[in-house]
Structure 1
Amino acid sequence: MKSIFHKITSFTMALLVLFSTFSFSVAQHYCGDVLVDYSFMGHAESCDMEVQETAELPEFNLVKADCCSDEVLTVDGQNDLKVSFEKLSFEQQQFVASFIYTYLNLYEGLPENIVPFSDYPPPLLVKDIQILDQIFLI
């Protein structure tokens, strides 16, 4: 039972570290208000309307507005996982040290196994109470 609990705990801690350090980005390409393409790896493909829309008009010397837009959503994971012990104040360091010391010594066993009733014999059986009361263990 302890082994299974230990494996489950270590697996969940590994997943916690994995997901806290995991970073990704999603590139999206919109043409107007319509999502045309998205990509989890790299850049989203364009719909090639930018090339047609941005052509210059030589007689008016104007440039048409671009109807397409690109968005990149980025989720950055945690880069520094090492917690420095020096960043703690003196009182916090003292608390951590005393907590660890008391926790390690909490489960320390006795030097010898003491049985307080080892010198006394069991009582004499006068009547068999189980047979008298007809109580049997099955």
Structure 2
Amino acid sequence: MKQLFIKISAICMSAIVLFSTLSFTMDMHYCGDTLVDVALFEKAAACGMEQMKPSKKCGDKIEKTSCCADKQIIMEGQDDLKDNVVKVSFEQQTFLVSYVYSYISLFESSDLSFTSFVVNPPPLLNKDFQVLYETFLI
């Protein structure tokens, strides 16, 4: 269960990093107040009304304005991901290593199963002195 949770959280974090660095452009084309086309990563297709030329009945002074409009939404991603690198001098490294070594040695367990007679066993007795002298501890 714990391994599954770790894998799911790793996938979620990688998706967050991916979507925070992704940048995209959404292009929309309006004809009047009506949305005609929406496109991601490319230019939206036009409706064809801007190709129509205005009529010249009134002369050259009056020109018909186009009812079409293009709107573009740009979502900028994060480009400057920093690696936090800490510069540690040789003296600081020496201090850290000695500190960690001395701290770990505080919790080193002593071997309680150590017995000194394992290397030098006691001499074998020929007679049982307790039975011989009939002295028993109660």
Q: Same fold (TM over 0.5)?
A: yes
Which of the two has higher C-alpha Rg? Answer: 2
In the alignment, structure 1 residue 60 sits paired with structure 2 residue 67: no
Q: Secondary structure at the match of 2:30?
A: strand
Q: 1:58 to 1:17 in 2, by over 3 A?
A: same
Unpaired segments of 5 or more residues in structure 2? 87-95, 113-138
1:55 alignment partner AA: P
Structure 1 unpaired stretches of 5+? 87-100, 116-138
**Matched residue count:** 98
TM-score, with structure 2 as normaliser: 0.57
**Map of 1:40-79 to 2, 5 A cutoff?**
40-52=40-52, 54-55=53-54, 57=56, 60-61=59-60, 62-79=62-79
What secondary structure does 1:57 align onto? coil
Percent identical:
36
The alignment's TM-score, normalised by the length of structure 1, stands at: 0.57
Deviation (angstroms), 1:19: 1.3
> Which whole-Å CA distance do the structure 1 matches of 2:76 and 2:84 have between them?
22
Large movers: runs of 4+ above 3 Å: 83-86
1:21-52: per-residue Cα shift (whole Å, max 9, x none)?
A: 11111111101000011111311111111111
